[in-house]
Amino acid sequence: MKKKVLKFGGTSVGSTDRIKHAAKIIKKESDLGNKIIVVVSAMAGKTNELISLSKSVSKNFSKRELDVLLSTGEQVTCALISGALNEMGIKTKSFMNWQIPILTDGENNNARIINMNVTKINNYLSSGGIAVIPGYQGISSSGDITTIGRGGSDATAVAIAKIFDTDSCEIYTDVDGIYSTDPNKIPVAKKIDKISYEEMLELSSLGAKVMQSSAVQTAMIYDIPLQVRSTFTDRQGTKIFNKDNLDYSKAVTGVAYSKDDAKITLQAVEDKPGVAAEIFEPFGKNQINIDMVIQNVSSDGKTTDITFTTKREDLVKSLEILKKNNNIKFKNLSYKNNVSKISIVGAGMVTTPGVTYKMFRALAEEKINILAISTSEIKISVIIDEVFTVQAVKKLHNIFNLD
């Protein structure tokens, strides 16, 4: 007998028919004698619908009340899944975040799970029941309902797997695993059977939307094996685990891209200690994430050009922050909002020479200009004009034998 977390994403529970189908998967696992904790997302489109409702009421809708509103999406799914299982004769019960409770820390709309009480759930599992828990939410120390960011149901599932010490955590979605790139854009994309936490973390942070990056990070820290599976096929999916178990014969595992980036460049910034901190401190205070940062020092060593990227939706606010910052001096400020980030990811890069050259040569052959470059041990990212995104992904996918 195993204890398992089964997490179902929004598309997997997007209609009552799909909810009934998910219930059959849960029943099958239960019939094998496993103890099951089910974690669910809101039905596909429901969270956006609730956000629209809040905006129709007020342009400055309270963050506290927004969390109360958005948390209802997963609660609806909990009740429907439980109802479908009860109809099959399965002992099932839904538990709301405050009934467990799931304890969170941090501000509304962006909290994080810090702990949860295991007694009620474990007692119910021991009695032969299946527990159904809403993802994406919890309750603060002051008793307020909180949410943990879009896609947070993955983080809930991984946190439950850790806290309840389960044998596995299976993420059910509308694709049958992790692919070498977006199969909707590149039909020759290949399903990856095994991938390391590190590679998956890079892919998810770079725009691959199969799993939330914070969930992958938690799984990596606590060495929780994950499996991404399709709700709609019986294929085995993709296993995500420690890189010690991987085959390093292939340098590149996947190609990821994001098309919601903007590039900002500060020219002739005074080059002295503390300048970078002065530039980026206001961004942190305004909850704006900075991604790639490239610095080029002038030949005389007195000034430097600093280029960085941020989300396109934060561009206007970012420019305002820079213009109002009296602690920095620069000659010119330029920006480009129609850019995309293309990245190749692979644990095998560590032992394979020539990967950087091969990537840059491939883009040059397609007449694609590179606007910025950033590297890590298992990732190379470049910024290019957005219009060349699919062309670049196709070329890199082919040149690294991923088709």
pLDDT for res 235: 81
206 pLDDT exceeds 70? no
Give the residue among 371, 364, 365, 362 at the shortest CA–CA distance from 396: 362
pLDDT in tens, 1-22: 899 999 999 999 999 999 999 9
133 pLDDT exceeds 70? yes
Instruction: For residue 167, give every residue at least 6 positions away whose Cβ sits within 8 Å of its Cβ, in sequence order, or none.
Output: 2, 3, 4
pLDDT in tens, 317-347: 999 999 999 888 888 999 999 999 999 998 8
Average pLDDT for residues 343-363, to the nearest whole number? 89
The proportion of the chain whose per-residue pLDDT surpasses 90, expressed as a percent, equals 61
pLDDT for res 265: 92
pLDDT in tens, 167-183: 999 999 988 888 888 88
Q: What's the rounded Cα separation, in Å, for the pair 225 and 239?
A: 7
Q: What's the rounded Cα separation, in Å, for the pair 303 and 271?
A: 5
Asked if residues 330 and 346 have their Cβ atoms less than 8 Å apart, the reply is no
246-264 as b/e: b if 16+ CB within 10 A: beeebbbbbbbbbeebbbb
pLDDT for res 259: 84
Residue 273's pLDDT band, with cuts at 50, 70 and 90, is confident
pLDDT for res 210: 73
pLDDT for res 258: 86
pLDDT in tens, 31-48: 999 999 999 999 999 999
Instruction: For residue 91, give every residue at least 6 positions away whose Cβ sits within 8 Å of its Cβ, in sequence order, or none.
Output: 127, 128, 129, 130
pLDDT for res 120: 96
Question: In the chain, what are the helix, strand and coil shares in percent, each to the nearest 5?
Answer: 40, 30, 35
Mean pLDDT of all residues belonging to the chain:
90
pLDDT for res 83: 98
Average pLDDT for residues 361-383, to the nearest whole number? 91
pLDDT in tens, 216-236: 888 888 888 899 998 988 888
Cα–Cα distances in angstroms (integers) from residue 4 to residues 13, 132, 398, in the given order: 19, 12, 38
Residue 17 CB-density burial (10 A; 0-12 exposed, 13-18 middle, 19+ buried): exposed
Q: Greater confidence, 204 or 119?
A: 119
Average pLDDT for residues 198-209, to the nearest whole number? 75
pLDDT in tens, 84-99: 999 999 999 999 999 9
Q: What's the rounded Cα separation, in Å, for the pair 297 and 330?
A: 13
pLDDT for res 207: 58
pLDDT for res 96: 96
Q: Greater confidence, 195 or 117?
A: 117
Which range in 66-75, 257-266, 307-316 is most confidently predicted, on average pLDDT? 66-75
Crossing angle, helix 315-324 and helix 275-285, to 10 degrees?
130
Q: What's the rounded Cα separation, in Å, for the pair 113 and 147?
A: 9
Residue 251's pLDDT band, with cuts at 50, 70 and 90, is confident
3 state DSSP class of 356: helix
**What letter does residue 246 receive in the DSSP assignment?**
S
Lowest mean pLDDT, pick from 37-46, 53-62, 191-200: 191-200
pLDDT for res 155: 92
Q: Where are the domains of the chain?
A: 3-174, 255-399
The DSSP result for 100-148, as a single string, is: TTEEEESSTTS-EEEEE--HHHHHHHHTT-EEEEESSEEE-TTS-EEE-
Strand partners, 255: 344
Tokens at 87, concatenated: 């109809």
pTM listed for this prediction: 0.80
CATH class of 255-399: alpha beta
The topology (CATH level 3) of 3-174 is Carbamate kinase (3.40.1160)
246 pLDDT exceeds 70? no
Average pLDDT for residues 271-277, to the nearest whole number? 87
pLDDT for res 209: 66
